[in-house]
Structure 1
Amino acid sequence: MRIISGLYKSRKIVAPKNLPVRPTTDMAKEGLFNVLNNLYYFDDISVLDLFAGTGNISYEFASRGTTSLICVDQDFGCIKFINQTAETFKMPIQTIKSDVFKYLEKANIQTNIIFADPPYGFEDEQFFLISELVFKNNLLLEGGLLIIEHSKHTILSNQDFYSYSKNYGSNVFSFFEIK
């Protein structure tokens, strides 16, 4: 994986092969950040990265100037890798090793962007629970977005607060917001 833009543009990051992850493709990540670039000044926002995996999305935010980043993942290897990478590049990333659903139930924060990249094999109810917990617990700041990455076989448009989706190959980003 590589960082698309910003301070660390073109830097390659190689994750250990034994991590249980499916990093967002560079093409999909570039498309997502083209959308976000028109909505936010990256140095003015806070980001919560759920099911963070390798930290791929958070590295892109950090490279573009975001200084308030929290990564949540339940896998110790993923958290260790994110911490090592953040330290290497001096990125302001905080990690939390936790089950994402338990974290969302107890979280006492508000943020501009919540990005969730759960396993593509999740059942619809698990995808629905992400948005339900985010909005029930008021975790987004005014004007904030919940973005869920999923496969083209998962349909999230029937959920509350759904706004729109963007497709990039087999990756889909569904955007949720309070209107």
Structure 2
Amino acid sequence: MKLRIISGSLKGRYIIVPQLKTTRPTTDRVKETVFNILWNRIDLEGMKVLDLYSGSGSLGFEAASRGAARVDFVEDHPGVVKVLESNLKSLSLEGVCGVARRTAVSFTSAQITNPYDLIVADPPFFKDDIYNVVENIYANKLLAPEGILFIERSIQTRENDEKNFGIKAYRQAGDACLYFFTSEHKSIDD
């Protein structure tokens, strides 16, 4: 299976999707919705982006295509990391993108000196470690002062997610709930 990059300098190019039960790529429809929402709030040109639970890298490659200066992918499955690295090479993004083979919890546990302008996370729908990841992002100041954190989750986990995230889903797209946070751990609507 392949996914299309929908806009920017790499528009129309394709990336390979790992064929694993644990990988659930963001659909074109959801990806377009996410980037339309972001388009009205931030300019990706020159931004530093973190793609957690990267899978195919669809969200991060879309950000790179739209002008992000740096995209870091975090994925812990060795087979998926190989596909990510292959996609990175086929798109000639070696100087723009990097891949870390770590869990999202481990990666976000460390403090950094240069925070991210945009963090995207599309964990497996029923994986609850995302709550620890969000806590780590804020505790370790991984999100820049004007940054945005985006998380895609299942509509089936909405009640628990809203309780744990402390914000309501910004939008529903198919069977996905889309959450957008500011650096103050509020919804982008607040």
TM-score normalised per structure 2? 0.86
Give the equivalent residue in structure 1 for 2:125: 120
Is the alpha carbon distance of 1:84 and 1:111 closer, same or farther for their aligned partners in structure 2, counting shifts above 3 Å? same
The aligned length equals 177
In 1, distance between residues paired with 2:127 and 2:5?
27
1:102 aligns with 2:106: yes
Structure 1 segment 94-173 matched on structure 2, within 5 A: 94-108=98-112, 109-123=114-128, 126-155=129-158, 156-159=161-164, 162=167, 164-173=169-178
1:73 aligns with 2:75: yes
User: In 2, are the aligned partners of 1:148 and 1:174 still within 8 Å (CA)?
Assistant: yes
Q: Give the Å deviation of 1:19.
A: 7.1
User: In 2, are the aligned partners of 1:149 and 1:172 still within 8 Å (CA)?
Assistant: yes
1:176 partner amino acid: F
2:118 partner amino acid: I
Q: Give the Å deviation of 1:134.
A: 0.7
The runs of 4+ residues in structure 1 deviating greater than 4 Å are none
Q: Give the Å deviation of 1:52.
A: 0.3
In 1, distance between residues paired with 2:69 and 2:60?
10
In 2, distance between residues paired with 1:142 and 1:161?
19
TM-score normalised per structure 1? 0.91
Q: Give the Å deviation of 1:161.
A: 6.0
In 2, distance between residues paired with 1:5 and 1:22?
21
In 2, distance between residues paired with 1:164 and 1:24?
17
In 2, distance between residues paired with 1:33 and 1:160?
21
RMSD: 1.8
Give the equivalent residue in structure 2 for 1:63: 65
Gapped runs of 5+ residues in structure 1? none
Gapped runs of 5+ residues in structure 2? none
Q: Look up the SS of the partner of 2:148 in the other structure.
A: strand
In 2, distance between residues paired with 1:50 and 1:34?
20
Q: Look up the SS of the partner of 2:106 in the other structure.
A: helix
